[in-house]
Amino acid sequence: MVAKTLALVLTCTAFFCHVTASLEDLTIRQVTEDGLPNLLGTHTERKFRVFMSDYGKSYSTREEYVHRLGIFAKNVLKAAEHQMMDPTAVHGVTRFSDLTEEEFTKMYTGLADVQTGHGGVVGAEAPKLEVKGLPKDFDWREKGAVTEVKDQGSCGSCWAFSTTGAVEGANFVSTGELVSLSEQQLVDCDKACDPKDKKACDDGCGGGLMTNAYEYLKEAGGLEEEKSYPYTGKRGQCKFDPRKVAVKVANFTSIPLDEDQITARLVHHGPLSVGINAVFMQTYIGGVSCPLICSKKRLNHGVLLVGYGSKGFSILRLSNKPYWIIKNSWGKKWGDNGYYKLCRGHDMCGINSMVSAVVTQV
């Protein structure tokens, strides 16, 4: 723990040195016609080349290289802004640092835009549970209910990964078996629409909703295993075979907009699908994210709530904060080994607004 903390401190320190140099670059370099400074030959370009090497990036033309360098410089400044607004986390250069916010949102999130009356969640509302006596810390990973972190690639299919994660967890709670299920089936075959907002439909890499996916699974008869219908990262022809169904969905419920109820439902019934605002996730490296400002209404990313902790160490504030443990779908090299820690108790980034639980058939 000490070694990891020191590593994060060093990362943060190095990043701020880089930000200072980048700010100097942006201040003293001549500004070109497109409004961007001439960054060639600067400290920022040297850091950009390190970024390219670290993440295996390449660009087909000189023009594209210069274009991405400009975006990278802006994202370095954005990460510095995020660090100031979210001091309990560590923000910096990530594999998304050469993407505009629009590109990042389109390629790596994918929650359909839906009117969020009651969290944008359909289905029966779950009955209220007793919240007394809940454990201070809880993690479904330790109990074997969570599969390895997966990677949606440059496909707006987060909703499919959130859905399979919830179904995998519910199936584990019911049967004691952990089975990795097929996101590709949802990407290829699911075209269900929200009954309250007919424009919010599941559309492969173009986005979708977890509750739509539950409805599709009820009608289709269930989900195949990942190994029988593997992920490709792009939409293709539907190849669903009902004879290969591994898990069937019986029903699903929405969870009241109450973090105590979300906590109780998580502990007693398994991992939960949630929608959040991913604005701070583009630059997130580690720590407990607790931004000073994060819109609760601009939900654009579907993830999986798997647990919570009572004390998440803050690098910069040298204190502890309670947090949610969130499984993401950007691979193990992103964030905290593929996970995001978001502070509890504040409806941070809309974490309470779109929460659903699924029930599987035994």
Catalytic residue IDs: 158, 301, 328
What is residue 127's DSSP assignment? P
For residues 316 and 88, the answer to whether their CB atoms sit within 8 Å is: yes
Taken in order 341, 347, 353, 355, is the CA torsion positive or negative? positive
Tell me whether strands 124-125 and 245-254 are parallel, antiparallel or unpaired: parallel
Question: Count of CB atoms within 10 A of residue 347's CB?
Answer: 15
Cα–Cα distance for residue pair 242/249, rounded to 1 Å = 13
57 HSE (CA, 13 A, CB side): 22
For residues 193 and 201, the answer to whether their CB atoms sit within 8 Å is: yes
Task: Give the alpha-carbon dihedral of 65, 67, 73, 75, to 10 degrees.
Answer: -110
For residues 353 and 116, the answer to whether their CB atoms sit within 8 Å is: yes
140 HSE (CA, 13 A, CB side): 31
Cα–Cα distance for residue pair 298/191, rounded to 1 Å = 23
Of the candidates 102, 305, 111, 348, the residue with the CA atom closest to the CA atom of residue 211:
111
Cα–Cα distance for residue pair 49/45, rounded to 1 Å = 6
Task: Give the alpha-carbon dihedral of 343, 348, 352, 357, to 10 degrees.
Answer: -50
The region that residue 306 occupies, defined by phi over 0 for left and psi between -120 and 50 for alpha, beta otherwise, is alpha
